[in-house]
């Protein structure tokens, strides 16, 4: 019963964030199509952007079709990342985690270079929504998957009927079932505390009670 309850995420479950982002994109496309007018957008733009545009004497121009196309393409990258499943998800995590806290700077030069002089407002709108938050959502789903692997390792230890001193060697015998499936790092056994743990994969801040690691307690006779 427990092994069924804590079974690994299915392919569909691993792709939940990607499918959710696809739904969000549908809403974004509708919003741009329905409300994508210059007079609708400028009140929502940060004053710093407007002042910078005026200082550079650039035109306040919005091209709805170009914004739709660019926003669609940008969203597709996020969706594709959210649809990656194990084992490829491990390579994705290892290659993107170092970029998690690097904010993308919005500059007029970048806007013009990427979106053109004829769509400055659209470029600001897209880049302003381009924070890499989707990766944290993906990483949080990875936390769920990692935690399930951690629980299954605990169940395997309990079913093996071993002593707490034998846990390190037993974890090695579990092979990929004794490691974090994304970081590829072995689960950490604390014999004194009798806890099996692994690092959280998303970026803080998170609730203090979560701690720095996901852990499970294992009782021994």
| 199 DSSP β-pair partners | 213
Q: Using H for helix, E for strand and C for coil, what is the string for 163-206?
A: CHHHHHHHHHHCHHHHECCCCCCECEEECCCCEEEEECCCCCCC
Structure tokens at 68: 């739709």
For residue 127, pLDDT beyond 80: no
Mean pLDDT of 117-133: 72
pLDDT level of residue 99 (50, 70, 90 thresholds): low
Contact 23, 80 (CB under 8 A): no
User: Could you tell me which residues come within 8 angstroms of residue 196 by beta carbon, excluding any fewer than 6 positions away?
Assistant: 150, 153, 154, 157, 167, 187, 188, 189, 190, 215, 216, 218
Tell me the per-residue pLDDT of 67-93, one tens digit each, with 9 for 90 and over: 889 889 888 988 999 999 999 999 999
pLDDT at 208: 72
Please state, for a pLDDT cut of 90, what percent of the chain lies above it. Answer: 48
pLDDT at 32: 81
Please state, for a pLDDT cut of 70, what percent of the chain lies above it. Answer: 83
Who wins on pLDDT, 16 or 96? Answer: 16
């Amino acid at each position: 019963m427990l092994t069924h309850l804590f079974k690994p995420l299915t392919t569909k479950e691993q792709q939940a964030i990607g499918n959710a982002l696809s739904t969000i994109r549908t809403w974004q496309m509708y919003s741009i199509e329905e409300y994508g007018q210059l007079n609708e957008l400028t009140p929502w733009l940060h004053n710093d952007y407007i002042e910078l545009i005026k200082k550079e004497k650039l035109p306040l121009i919005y091209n709805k079709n170009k914004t739709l196309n660019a926003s669609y393409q940008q969203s597709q990258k996020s969706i594709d990342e959210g649809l990656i499943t194990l084992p490829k998800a491990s390579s994705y995590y290892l290659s993107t985690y170092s970029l998690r806290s690097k904010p993308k700077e919005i500059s007029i030069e970048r806007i013009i270079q990427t979106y053109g002089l004829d769509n400055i407002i659209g470029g600001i709108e897209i880049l302003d929504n381009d924070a890499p938050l989707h990766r944290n959502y993906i990483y949080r789903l990875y936390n769920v998957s990692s935690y399930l692997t951690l629980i299954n390792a605990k169940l395997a230890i309990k079913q093996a009927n071993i002593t707490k001193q034998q846990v390190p060697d037993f974890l090695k015998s579990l092979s990929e079932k004794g490691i974090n499936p994304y970081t590829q790092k072995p689960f950490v056994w604390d014999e004194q505390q009798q806890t099996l743990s692994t690092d959280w994969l998303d970026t803080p801040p998170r609730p203090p009670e979560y701690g720095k690691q996901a852990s499970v307690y294992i009782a021994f006779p």
